[in-house]
Structure 1
Amino acid sequence: MTDESMPDLAQITDAQAVTPELRRQLIDCWIAVTNSAGAAGFPFPPVQDDDVAPVTDKLLGRLHPQHSRLITARLDDVLAGWVVLNRDPFQLVGHWGTVNHLQTHPELRSRGVGSALMRQLRKIARDELELEQLHLAARGGEGLEDFYSRLGWREVGRWPGALRLAPDDTRDEVLMLLDPL
């Protein structure tokens, strides 16, 4: 990826900073990702605005500088992808964060957007939130383990057959860890 094609990354820590335009773009991206069989939280496509908008609003409502951050990527002023970093507020597990909903708009894939989002998320987790490790769960059978492994993550376990996408399509939930940051 050349410098001119690098996505413009931003983080949001407060729902008040989300413009109506960005909210709409987040919803549209999530719909497009899900309806193209992406593993981003809605397992049964097709989805539409009525499915995704309330979940997006709930996610945005939880944004908080110390506990939940939204990281967005833009290419040429178009939302290319986004990811959420959550930190548990309880002291016992307050040293690690959880990554949720990494997604790249299907029309903008293979441009390094997902990798750029994950590198920025790692930097924010380490430098701003002072986290020591990150966790995520990925849908097996999608090649996601390879993607995350290239970014330094390692598989630490699986929930065999945890995800039933259809009567004849049961997948493992792959548990991954990034440690140290």
Structure 2
Amino acid sequence: MSTRNPVVLQQISRPEDVAHELAHALVDCWVDVTNAGGAAGFPFPPVDSDQVRPAAERIVTALDPQLSRLVVATVDDELAGWLNVRRDRDPLVAHWGTVHHVQSHTKFRGQGIGTALMTFLREVARDDMGLEQLHLAARAGVGLETFYGRLGWQEIGRWPGALRLSPNDDRDEILMVLSPL
């Protein structure tokens, strides 16, 4: 399925380039995704903007052209999805980055936003950040490994029962890599 209007993708690498409206939209998206059951960093819904805002602010303030990028997708100037990619300064591991908080807004689900974000991320990581591979951890039991697998990611391991969503709901954390970019 595709969106009716084109998806506009952009990367942001400096905190001052995140407009107030975008910062607010990031929080709103994160709240909606989490409360719809999305595995995007807040595992215990419901959440509200007061809980999510500090985490979003930490991501924005850590943006740095060498170390951290925000990748956003918009449709008709409305935030449709976003993610964060970060690398470590340590030269031992500076050749790879970690992807965090991949999410598409619930009202844009099924329209290819996640695929567009992940495809654009690959270009950003390789061409603009000079990365050679990407890593991510995904929650088992919601089909994420299938989604990422279709985009070329490989499962490289699992932490069995690493995530306890409730007393009778332990999930594996799936470790994935995309290499080469």
* TM bracket (short chain): over 0.9
Offset of residue 140 of structure 1 = 0.4
- Residue deviations 1:107-128 (CA, integer Å, cap 9, x gap): 1100000000000100011111
**Where has structure 1 moved over 4 Å in runs of 4 or more?**
1-4
**How far apart are the structure 2 equivalents of 1:140 and 1:98?**
18
Sequence identity percentage: 56
> What is the CA distance between 1:2 and its match in structure 2?
5.6
Q: Which residue of 2 aligns with 1:145?
A: 145
Deviates more, 1:164-173 or 1:1-10: 1-10
Offset, 1:5: 3.3
2:8 pairs with 1:8:
yes
Of 1-10 and 100-109, more deviation after overlay is shown by 1-10
CA deviation after TM superposition for structure 1 residue 6, in Å = 3.2
Distance 1:48 1:3 in 2: 28
**What pairs with 1:1-181 in structure 2 (closer than 5 Å)?**
5-181=5-181
TM-score normalized by structure 2?
Answer: 0.97
**Runs of at least 5 residues in structure 2 that lack an aligned partner in the other structure:** none
Aligned AA (1:178): L
Q: What is the alpha-carbon distance in structure 2 between the residues aligned to residue 5 and residue 49 of structure 1?
A: 28
Q: 2:3 touches 2:112 (CA, 8 Å); kept in 1?
A: no
Query: Post-superposition shift, 1:40?
Result: 0.1
Once residues 3 and 165 of structure 2 are traced to their aligned partners in structure 1, the CA distance between those partners, rounded to angstroms, is 39
Write the distance in 2 (CA, Å) between the matches of 1:143 and 1:90: 33
Aligned residue-pair number: 181
Q: 1:130 and 1:16 mapped to 2: Cα distance?
A: 23
Equivalent residue letter for 1:30: W
The question of whether the paired residues in 1 share the 8 Å contact of 2:70 and 2:83 is answered with yes
Deviations, residues 86-135 of structure 1 (Å, cap 9, x unaligned): 11111000000100000000111000000000001000111111111100
Per-residue Cα deviation, 1:149-175 (whole angstroms, up to 9, x for no partner): 000000000000000000111100000
Q: 2:158, 2:106 → 1: CA distance?
A: 27
Task: Give the Cα separation in 2 of the matches to 1:129 and 1:179.
Answer: 15
The 3 A distance-change label for structure 1 pair 152 and 119 is same
For the residues of structure 1 that align with 2:49 and 2:134, how far apart are their CA atoms?
A: 30
The unaligned stretches of length 5 or more in structure 1 are: none
Q: Which moved more, 1:148-157 or 1:123-132?
A: 123-132
Q: TM-score, normalised by structure 1?
A: 0.97
